[in-house]
Amino acid sequence: GLKSTFNTTAGTPLYQRLTKVLRGAIESSLWDADDPLPSERDIAETLEISRVTVRKAIDGLVEDGLLVRKRGSGTFVAGRVEKSFATLTSFTEDMVSRGRKVRSDWLMRERGLVTPEESLSLSLSPGAAVLRFHRLRCADNVPMAIEYATVPAACLPSEHAVEDSLYEALRIRNQRPVRALQRLRAVLFTEEQAKLMLVEPGSAGLFIERIGFNAAGAAVEWTRSYYRGDAYDFVAELNLGN
Ligand code: 16G
């Protein structure tokens, strides 16, 4: 149980030891998403440490998105997000349909000249202008993904045309993707990415590259998304014969 694992961890401070032990317990599915964790008081008594320490460790895990507090019923392991791998939805649509509040922090947005890699992905000629949007994407204030999108400058009036949703900005100009190619790959977050995502450096991530095409068949986005491996399940329905 918690106690024997806790006693084998060394080092200080105490709340960091407890955080490590709780993380391990969450990762090894010690608690079901529907069962509350033991109360802070019970954990404190079992481990013979102060409630303040327990609270501090739990607060940190809530902030990192691994635990959620539900008013009146306790603290729970956060459920993973199931995202369809084969539907052309946006991050905003995915989260809003789950009743979650979207927040995006700008890491960078700029207008620039197409790089060779971008020109291949978007079939643009050298010298073409592009818009780049780099965002940290959060649901209920918990970081979920980092996205780097490149869009041909001809699709949007400027890099400031995107407020909350790239797809909404494209949609109102008749440029929303209606078809896309995707690639999924396992990655380890870089130190910088891990810091933004509030996960341990070297944590596992899911990298998805999407090239989206508008109704006229032109590539309108080349997006590299890094999703939290501990928060996402990508699901798809398969049929024999397609
Ligand atoms: C999704 C897309 C991404 C797109 C973004 C737009 C995947 C793997 N990626 O994250 O390609 O650019 O949504 O989101 O689904 P927005 O409209 O909320 O800005």
Whole-number pLDDT of residue 141: 84
Q: What are phi and psi of 136, to 5 degrees?
A: -95, 125
pLDDT at 211 over 70: yes
206 Cβ closer than 6 Å to some ligand 1 atom: no
Name the closest-CA residue to atom 4, ligand 1: 90
pLDDT of the residue at 200: 86
Ligand 1: centre distance to CA 89 (Å): 7
pLDDT at 242: 62
Q: Is 83 in the pocket of ligand 1 (CB under 6 A)?
A: no
Nearest atom, ligand 1, residue 210 CA: 11
CB of 137 closer than 6 angstroms to any ligand 1 atom: no
Please say whether the dihedral angle defined by the alpha carbons of residues 5, 7, 10 and 11, taken in this order, is positive or negative.
positive
Q: Given a cut of 80, is residue 79 above it in pLDDT?
A: no
Q: Is the CB of 221 under 6 A from ligand 1?
A: yes
Q: Ligand 1 centre from 120 Cα, in Å?
A: 20
> Confidence class of residue 214 from pLDDT cuts 50, 70 and 90?
very high
Contact indicator for 52, 91 with CB cutoff of 8 Å = no
Is any atom of ligand 1 closer than 6 Å to the C-beta of 167? yes
For residues 3-25, give the mean pLDDT. Answer: 86
Residue 140 Cα, ligand 1 centroid: separation in angstroms?
A: 17
Residue among 81, 90, 122, 220 to mutate when testing ligand 1 (max atoms within 8 A of CB): 90
Q: Radius of gyration over alpha carbons of the chain, in Å?
A: 21
Distance separating alpha carbons of residues 56 and 63, to the nearest angstrom: 11
Rounded to the nearest angstrom, the distance between the alpha carbon of 20 and the centre of ligand 1 is: 32
Does the C-beta of 149 come closer than 6 Å to ligand 1?
yes
Task: Cis check for the bond before 13: say yes or no (omega within 30 of 0).
Answer: yes
Q: Is the CB of 166 under 6 A from ligand 1?
A: yes
Cα gap 170→156, rounded to integer Å: 7
C-alpha closest to that of 234 among 136, 105, 115, 87:
87
Please determine, for residue 10, whether its predicted confidence score (pLDDT) is greater than 80.
no
> Is the ipTM above a cut-off of 0.95?
yes
45 CB-near residues (< 8 Å, 6+ apart): none
- pLDDT > 80? residue 65: no
Q: What is the mean pLDDT of residues 12-35?
A: 85
Sign of CA dihedral 209, 198, 54, 52: negative
Pocket test for ligand 1, best of 130, 167, 168, 172 (most atoms within 8 A of CB): 167
